[in-house]
Structure 1
Amino acid sequence: MISEIKKAANYILCYTRMPQEDAIYSTKLAYSMHLAYSEDGIKFQALNHNSGVLFAKATENENGSLNAKSLKNPYIFRMKDNAFGVIAVRTEPDGENDSQSKGSVLLFTSSDLLQYKEIGLINLKNNAYVNDVACEYNEEMRTYIIRWSDESGNYYKNSITNITNLEDASIPEETEAFVIDIVKSDIEGIVPRNVINVSTQIAHRIACKLTVPTNIKIEIPRSVKVTSKEDLKNVRATAIYSDGTTALKTIDWNTGEIDWNKEGTYRITGTIHQDHYEFPIAINRADPCSIKWNGKYYFIATNDADENHTLYMREADSIPELVTAEESLILDSDTYDDIKNLLWAPEFHIIEGELYIFHAATTGEFFCVESHFMKLKKGGNPMCAADWSRPQRIVKKDGTELCEAGKTISLDMTVFEWGSEYYVCWSQRQFLPVDLGAWLYIAKIDPKEPWKLISDSVIISKPEYGWANNHTFVDEGPFALIKDEKIFLSVSSAAIDSTYVIGLLTAEKDADLLNPNSWTKGNYPLLTARSVPGEYGTGHNSYVTDDDGIVWNLYHARPGVDAPRSSGIRRVHFDIDGYPVLDLTEEKDLNSQLANVSINIII
């Protein structure tokens, strides 16, 4: 019997799911490995919103196009170095047999069951399609035993000393049937696989990373010395969350009974401040972006209300006030001869003290969409269209156009500074002679001439995973968040329907950002239609930091499967590793029962 469940304190169950309707949870999403956690080996809690955490990579054709792949029957096992291995049957995206995987099984390795490395296909020296598979490391024999069955119901086993040497498996031997202990669970759609015992430390880490934290405690000083209301405003509460992380919160104090001219000790009450945002904050507004410039906050987004023919901007003294601020027209598709149709994904960027808007525009046809920029004139008013320069195309370092019009499009260009150098990152899609899907590119720019690349462009991401090629092969919408000497680059993937998602690329301090190997792509998206009830197709986000140092995530989603793309905003939390958490809803961010506080102030 394979992997007999032992009595221990921490269990991880791997499983796949039954597909649902295509707009909710398609085959490309369901046929991935999911994880659940249990302390008793009986009752399991789905992790990551019951969404996949491990997807098979697409294969690449000679012409550069990708073939989506899925997986079935994953099996987690311990490797001889105490790391984890996952063995699975690779399939076509709909779960059917994959001819490229005939006689082979797919191997992944992981140190923590969170980030995985796809090693490749283990050759089982047999020409049959594999139906089921399991693997264990035999310590006495110092070898791995792979047990598998074919579609005809025949059972085999192979041995392999070094499982990452994909061609080193022995000739298969016929053997008796193997049985995997199946856990009964009420997790929606579950197709359960095996359970593995893990250490408390690993279990805690998996649960923290794959569960949205919840506010469980509020701490404030017992007393504080102040001399004015301004001093009191600087007193912060510390919100403590279920995963041990914290966040500072401002407090709205009741100061009516304080005589600021009279020394003494006063007992006052207050309420933890929380800005409230109903979703959506802007209907028919996609790809939202906000920035603070010269003491004011600004908001801009793609306008779906008129089929993307205009760009409107809002101005306010604070981020909450942007929700109800009036809009001013900044750009339309009638003013200029070379801007005649689609206007997409505007982003604010400050480069050496100058304000720019980077956006996509076209001379008319969809296949001529290219990255453009506008610059605010010196002393100009951002809300005045006349104070913005004529849109201009981004060009390569030799001055030629970034893409060949009619064959390749570019869009969603973003800008960030890293190590005193400036970079642009954008999405680019070749349609002719063959559609390659949308890939992410990066290059350096000169801040004096930010419309011109000063390096060759480099590919850093392709839509390899099922969540990124669901309905279409797209990686787009990059936006950088820099924190604790790491750069987090959000990426939006798949079709812009109800299954649109946000993934993450990460690079470390001192990394060469023009080296694709410097970037680590998460195996699963951070934000999906399963992350927050009632929000479908979450994607194309940006970040803005307010006056209190709080980072906000602006994104678009649909308030229904077929509803229009609309903008939302949510506080960005940071998890146990300092990585962004994008699905911390207001009720989890602050427990309303803990919101009322009191303190002694000494004047």
Structure 2
Amino acid sequence: MNIDNFMKTNYNEPFIIQRADPYVYKQKDGSYLFTASVPEYDRIVLRGSRTLDGLADADEVTIWEKHRQGIMSIHIWAPEIHCIEDKWFIYFAAGNKDDIWAIRPYVLACTGDDPLKDSWMELGQMQAADDFSFKDFSLDMTVFQNRGIWYCVWAEKVSVGKKISNLYIAEMESPSKLSTPQVLLTSPDYDWERVDFWVNEGPALLRHDGMLYLTYSASATGECYCMGMLSIPEDGELLNPRAWKKERVPVVKTDWEKGILGPGHNSFTKAEDGKGDIMVYHARQYDEIDGDPLYDPNRHVYRMRIEWDKEGRPVFSFENNF
């Protein structure tokens, strides 16, 4: 792909180039941490900045590198950094050079208080509370707390008939172990979730006015990649899939006019004033990809300010990119 052929518009100026699956965490002191998949899929990186804008040019620190062989030796994907009970953890997916699609979720723990400077140790694969979780292709793990309980949501393929990637949810016993069996949260039910591959993945949580909104990504990683959404009241039964509402149409999808193609795998953070909500996501500026889109390096990071309609629901618009 000739980079001179990029579709450049007023809306698709990247925030951070060549970083996919972006995750931004706002700390208690107001500063920000950033991590994402790198094109080589061989390491986990972190950036820190006093401001959100400053992440673009912040020094990047490699805090962990892939193993030379065995587990965690290939396809290092979608890291997320979380602070649980004042300790830092990173959740990520990785494969095995001897079985490159044996993707599983793993956990790192920081040995100190500074995630950028202190060392990290491996806690191994996320531990299940049943005999069937993480037995197949599993990735894109996120965690969140609601009403005093920590929850884990991740994508996992099932292998009965056509392999499809579903989203599952469970409660957590510790940062590296689940306490309940997995519950199927959503499957790729609609046509826009089934382009090339049947996929629900990349969950991200957004809170607002007593509601939880869970966005996720669907279909293959080319221009068909898009975002759906589930929602539930904060006091709802989170382990009851029928208590969640699933949107019939994607909430974010490719916009050819604006040159934003395959938007997805997002995270949410707060604006510097602590009031506004911001979505951080990746997208491409073109569709002409040689080979597998998964290995195209030019998924860039973008930012969007979230607005809210009169019913209190999030409004996603590329007009609000910045």
Shorter-normalised TM range: 0.7 to 0.9
Q: Does 1:458 align with 2:202?
A: no
Matches within 5 A, 1:391-406: 391-397=123-129, 402-404=133-135
Equivalent residue for 1:580, pick from 307, 314, 317: 314
Query: Which residue number in structure 1 is paired with residue 38 of structure 2?
Result: 303
What is the CA distance between 1:277 and its match in structure 2? 8.7
Q: Does 1:439 align with 2:170?
A: no
Equivalent residue for 2:120, pick from 384, 388, 404: 388
AA in 2 matched with 1:299: F
Matches within 5 A, 1:53-72: none
CA–CA separation in structure 1 for the residues paired with 2:47 and 2:68? 20
What is the CA distance between 1:354 and its match in structure 2? 1.8
What is the CA distance between 1:411 and its match in structure 2? 0.4
Q: Deviations over 1:278-326 (max 9, x none)?
A: 621222211100112353311110112x2x1122211111000101112
AA in 2 matched with 1:376: C
Q: CA distance change for structure 1 residues 532 and 505 in 2, over 3 Å: closer, same or farther? A: farther
Instruction: Provide the secondary structure at the position in 2 that maps to 1:339.
Output: strand
CA contact (8 A) 1:280 1:559 kept: no
CA–CA separation in structure 1 for the residues paired with 2:80 and 2:265? 11
What is the CA distance between 1:585 and its match in structure 2? 1.8
TM-score (normalizing by structure 2): 0.87
CA contact (8 A) 1:445 1:453 kept: yes
CA contact (8 A) 1:532 1:583 kept: no
TM-score (normalizing by structure 1): 0.48
Matches within 5 A, 1:169-248: none
CA contact (8 A) 2:211 2:231 kept: yes
Instruction: Provide the secondary structure at the position in 2 that maps to 1:341.
Output: strand
Instruction: Provide the secondary structure at the position in 2 that maps to 1:463.
Output: coil
Equivalent residue for 1:371, pick from 105, 113, 127: 105
Query: Which residue number in structure 1 is paired with residue 157 of structure 2?
Result: 429
Query: Which residue number in structure 1 is paired with residue 301 of structure 2?
Result: 567
Q: Does 1:414 align with 2:148?
A: no
Q: Does 1:511 align with 2:239?
A: no
CA contact (8 A) 1:573 1:584 kept: no
Q: CA distance change for structure 1 residues 547 and 532 in 2, over 3 Å: closer, same or farther? A: farther
Query: Which residue number in structure 1 is paired with residue 292 of structure 2?
Result: none
Query: Which residue number in structure 1 is paired with residue 54 of structure 2?
Result: 321
CA contact (8 A) 2:19 2:36 kept: yes
Q: Deviations over 1:461-486 (max 9, x none)?
A: 00010111111100000111111111
Number of equivalent positions? 302
CA–CA separation in structure 2 for the residues paired with 1:288 and 1:361? 16
Q: CA distance change for structure 1 residues 383 and 532 in 2, over 3 Å: closer, same or farther? A: farther
AA in 2 matched with 1:439: N
Q: Deviations over 1:404-423 (max 9, x none)?
A: 2xxx1110011111121111
CA–CA separation in structure 1 for the residues paired with 2:215 and 2:264? 9
Q: Does 1:467 align with 2:192?
A: yes
CA–CA separation in structure 2 for the residues paired with 1:539 and 1:459? 21
Instruction: Provide the secondary structure at the position in 1 that maps to 2:121.
Output: coil
What is the CA distance between 1:542 and its match in structure 2? 0.4
Instruction: Provide the secondary structure at the position in 2 that maps to 1:567.
Output: strand
Instruction: Provide the secondary structure at the position in 1 that maps to 2:242.
Output: helix
CA–CA separation in structure 2 for the residues paired with 1:522 and 1:294? 33
Q: CA distance change for structure 1 residues 436 and 278 in 2, over 3 Å: closer, same or farther? A: closer
What is the CA distance between 1:401 and its match in structure 2? 7.8
AA in 2 matched with 1:554: V
Q: CA distance change for structure 1 residues 529 and 556 in 2, over 3 Å: closer, same or farther? A: same
Instruction: Provide the secondary structure at the position in 1 that maps to 2:122.
Output: coil
CA contact (8 A) 2:202 2:217 kept: yes
Q: Does 1:551 align with 2:277?
A: yes
Instruction: Provide the secondary structure at the position in 2 that maps to 1:523.
Output: coil
Query: Which residue number in structure 1 is paired with residue 293 of structure 2?
Result: none
Which structure has the larger Rg over C-alpha atoms?
A: 1
Give the aligned CA root-mean-square deviation in angstroms.
2.2
What is the CA distance between 1:366 and its match in structure 2? 2.9
Query: Which residue number in structure 2 is paired with residue 146 of structure 1?
Result: none
Instruction: Provide the secondary structure at the position in 2 that maps to 1:517.
Output: helix
Q: Does 1:286 align with 2:20?
A: yes
CA–CA separation in structure 1 for the residues paired with 2:11 and 2:110? 30
Q: CA distance change for structure 1 residues 532 and 463 in 2, over 3 Å: closer, same or farther? A: farther
What is the CA distance between 1:526 and its match in structure 2? 0.9
Aligned identity (percent) is: 28
What is the CA distance between 1:335 and its match in structure 2? 6.3
CA–CA separation in structure 2 for the residues paired with 1:586 and 1:508? 26
CA–CA separation in structure 2 for the residues paired with 1:277 and 1:584? 7
Structure that is richer in strand per residue: 2
Instruction: Provide the secondary structure at the position in 1 that maps to 2:73.
Output: coil
What is the CA distance between 1:327 and its match in structure 2? 1.1
What is the CA distance between 1:529 and its match in structure 2? 0.4
CA–CA separation in structure 1 for the residues paired with 2:188 and 2:48? 36
CA–CA separation in structure 2 for the residues paired with 1:343 and 1:367? 11
CA–CA separation in structure 2 for the residues paired with 1:531 and 1:491? 21
Query: Which residue number in structure 1 is paired with residue 218 of structure 2?
Result: 493
AA in 2 matched with 1:472: F
Query: Which residue number in structure 2 is paired with residue 530 of structure 1?
Result: 255
CA contact (8 A) 2:306 2:320 kept: no
CA–CA separation in structure 2 for the residues paired with 1:362 and 1:471? 22
Q: CA distance change for structure 1 residues 482 and 358 in 2, over 3 Å: closer, same or farther? A: same
What is the CA distance between 1:377 and its match in structure 2? 1.9
What is the CA distance between 1:508 and its match in structure 2? 1.6
Instruction: Provide the secondary structure at the position in 2 that maps to 1:585.
Output: helix
CA–CA separation in structure 2 for the residues paired with 1:372 and 1:509? 28
CA contact (8 A) 1:416 1:480 kept: yes
Structure 1 stretch 292-301 or stretch 480-489: which is displaced more? 292-301
Gaps of 5+ in 1: 1-275, 590-603
Instruction: Provide the secondary structure at the position in 1 that maps to 2:101.
Output: helix
